[in-house]
A and B are shown apart, each in its own frame.
Chain A
Amino acid sequence: EAQVTQNPRYLITVTGKKLTVTCSQNMNHEYMSWYRQDPGLGLRQIYYSMNVEVTDKGDVPEGYKVSRKEKRNFPLILESPSPNQTSLYFCASSTRTGGEGDTQYFGPGTRLTVL
């Protein structure tokens, strides 16, 4: 089954304790992205990756890091989480076919609470 998986689904942590949220897709997609969803703001892009070892900032990258060492995986790293990073996080992936409006496939989300 084609899917994007995220782990963990729920996480409660404390300020300053480094954490990683994993994302994996089994569709051989080149493009992967991380979003955060906050009430009244919709989804905002944090980072994206066009392919292995190619990453770039989205709209709200401060406080986050990513890496893309393998095509299928795109972990999101919070080196020193703060309460304002409490949010619902989504990973997404899509193919790259020359700007054909490819559908982005979303993971189930990770609800993060930073105390």
Chain B
Amino acid sequence: AQSVTQLDSQVPVFEEAPVELRCNYSSSVSVYLFWYVQYPNQGLQLLLKYLSGSTLVKGINGFEAEFNKSQTSFHLRKPSVHISDTAEYFCAVSDLNDYKLSFGAGTTVTVRA
């Protein structure tokens, strides 16, 4: 069974500043890793995913994440945020033979002008 810990529940950030959202997971097997975004009053949308290969994954809207197997982490970054990035972000993990996603508790990002 997997578990996901998002280390920050709230991240306030100024517009055009960088942001990093931290995600750690625990699993006894190899995993796939995902970041989803939920804009206010909307469903979840995939930002990016790590399946295999390069540990640096680029996603939509200028986001990227780095898989670190030794630290079991999958932190999400964006070098310069916009007001429109205000949303809740979820890290999720599934193992290689399972379609079940285990989600973290979420990180709310609030971008201020």
A residues in contact (CB < 8 Å) with B: 4, 31, 33, 35, 40-45, 48, 50, 58, 90, 92, 94, 96, 99-104, 106-109
Contact = CB atoms under 8 A, between A and B. Distances in A.
- Which residue, of B4, B51, B98, B99, has the highest number of chain A Cβ atoms within 10 A? B99
B30 to A, nearest CB: 10
B103 A48 contact: no
B103 A103 contact: no
Contact of B46 (A33, A96, A103, A108): A103
B49 A42 contact: no
Given A101-B94, A106-B43, A44 B103 contact: yes
A58 B42 CA distance: 23
Interface in B21-78: 32, 34, 36, 42-46, 49, 51
B96 A43 contact: no
A106 B47 CA distance: 13
A42 B100 contact: no
18 contacts: A4-B43, A40-B105, A42-B106, A43-B44, A43-B90, A43-B103, A48-B99, A58-B100, A90-B44, A99-B98, A100-B51, A101-B34, A102-B99, A104-B101, A106-B45, A108-B43, A109-B42, A109-B43
A49 to B, nearest CB: 10
Interface string B79-98: 00000000000101010111
A90 B103 contact: no
A111 to B, nearest CB: 9
Contacts of A43: 44, 90, 92, 101, 103
B43 A41 contact: no
Nearest to B42: A108
A107 B98 CA distance: 21
Contact of B96 (A35, A99, A104): A99
Nearest to A105: B46
B107 to A, nearest CB: 10
A94 B32 CA distance: 15
Contacts of A108: 42-43
A31 B44 contact: no
